């Protein structure tokens, strides 16, 4: 057992260093680190570009979502964009319970069906081109927000 724990000593030391750096940082630096690896700028942009009553379908290409940067970004969107509702669609199978994402092949038909099911008014695509037609605004080359209009 001791040998198996020793195998991970380097990772544990690195983790403790990161915790120490976080504890020693000032408030602004802590907030920046807390957002890593999610982009605070994307969250702020989405807040500015959407209405408080918006329903957002967040779409990514992540195939292993648990703990991924897209997972962190989804949870930041979920918390920071409240009262907006945010749902996540990705090609990963729903292999955990409860799955906090919906499986999609990312086709136009699949995403349209999910948008209708969730009554989404906006589609936030990250890591792919804008997948649905509509008025699209771009944050950068891989992040787009498409107004879907009323889907009710």
Q: How far apart are alpha carbons 59 and 132 in whole angstroms?
A: 11
Going by C-alpha positions, the residue among 146, 139, 141, 135 that lies closest to residue 59 is 146
pTM of the full predicted structure? 0.74
Q: Could you report the per-residue pLDDT of 70-82, keeping only the tens digit for each?
A: 888 999 999 999 9
Model confidence at 150, in pLDDT bands (50, 70, 90)? low
Asked if residues 76 and 35 have their Cβ atoms less than 8 Å apart, the reply is yes
CA distances (Å), 19 to each of 14, 33, 40, 54, 92, in order? 9, 10, 20, 36, 31
Asked if residues 81 and 96 have their Cβ atoms less than 8 Å apart, the reply is no
Q: How far apart are alpha carbons 103 and 90 in whole angstroms?
A: 5
**What's the whole-number mean pLDDT along residues 32-50?**
80
The reported pLDDT for the residue numbered 96 is 72
The three-point CA angle 49-136-119 to 5° equals 75
Q: How many residues does the chain have?
A: 152
Is residue 68 packed enough to be buried (19+ CB in 10 Å), middle (13-18) or exposed (0-12)? Answer: middle
The reported pLDDT for the residue numbered 83 is 96
The reported pLDDT for the residue numbered 17 is 76
Domain boundaries, the chain: 2-34, 37-147
**pLDDT averaged over every residue in the chain:** 83
């Amino acid at each position: 057992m001791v040998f198996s724990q020793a195998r991970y000593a380097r990772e544990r030391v690195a983790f403790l260093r990161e915790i120490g750096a976080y504890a020693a940082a000032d408030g602004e630096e802590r907030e920046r680190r807390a957002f890593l690896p999610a982009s605070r700028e994307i969250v702020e942009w989405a807040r500015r570009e959407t209405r408080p009553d918006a329903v957002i379908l967040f779409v990514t290409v992540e195939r292993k979502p648990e703990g991924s940067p897209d997972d962190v970004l989804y949870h930041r969107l979920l918390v920071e964009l409240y009262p907006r509702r945010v749902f996540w669609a990705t090609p990963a199978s729903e292999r955990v319970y409860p799955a906090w994402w919906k499986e999609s092949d990312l086709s136009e038909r699949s995403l349209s069906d999910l948008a209708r099911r969730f009554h989404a008014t906006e589609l936030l695509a990250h890591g792919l081109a804008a997948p649905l037609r509509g008025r699209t605004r771009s944050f950068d080359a891989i992040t787009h927000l498409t107004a879907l209009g009323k889907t009710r």
